[in-house]
Amino acid sequence: MITGLGIDLIEKERINNAMKKSDRFCKRILSDRENVIFQSITSWQRKVEYLAGRFAAKEAYAKASGTGIGKEMAFKDIEVLPDSKGKPELYFKGEKNPKSLVSISHGREIIIAEVIIQEG
């Protein structure tokens, strides 16, 4: 049974502008493990897509959890890491969350993420 559903979309231009201003935005959003992947990306456009996808997925997870980003849940508490085939998987406070599903889609100007949390 589905116990939580969250969706978020973000304009790539918003992330692009935040990245150009300062690297603080990336540090606030990405965990250490996500940052390793981010730093290995050589294309600026792909970096924007990666960060925007993680931002949207984390917002969607927080919405699906019913808490939002705040006291109970910070951006760095949520990780979106690839499995062996590249499919994104959700981790919360370092532990894989097997009850959650995430999908991230990239368009020309926006990125959207959806998270489903299941019971049992």
Residue 56 tokens read as 């949207």
Among this protein's residues, is 106 annotated catalytic? yes
2-118 — its CATH code?
A: 3.90.470.20
User: Is 8 annotated as a binding-site member?
Assistant: yes
- What helix, strand, coil percent values describe the chain, rounded to 5? 40, 30, 25
> Domain residues of the chain, as ranges?
2-118
Among this protein's residues, is 71 annotated catalytic? no
Catalytic residue among 63, 71, 76, 93: 63
Its sign, for the CA torsion 5, 25, 36, 70, is negative
Q: What is the pLDDT of residues 25-77, one digit of tens each?
A: 899 999 999 999 999 999 999 999 999 999 999 999 999 998 888 888 999 99
Q: What is the pLDDT of residues 76-99, one digit of tens each?
A: 999 999 999 999 999 999 999 889
What dihedral do alpha carbons 97, 101, 105, 111 form, nearest 10°? Answer: -60
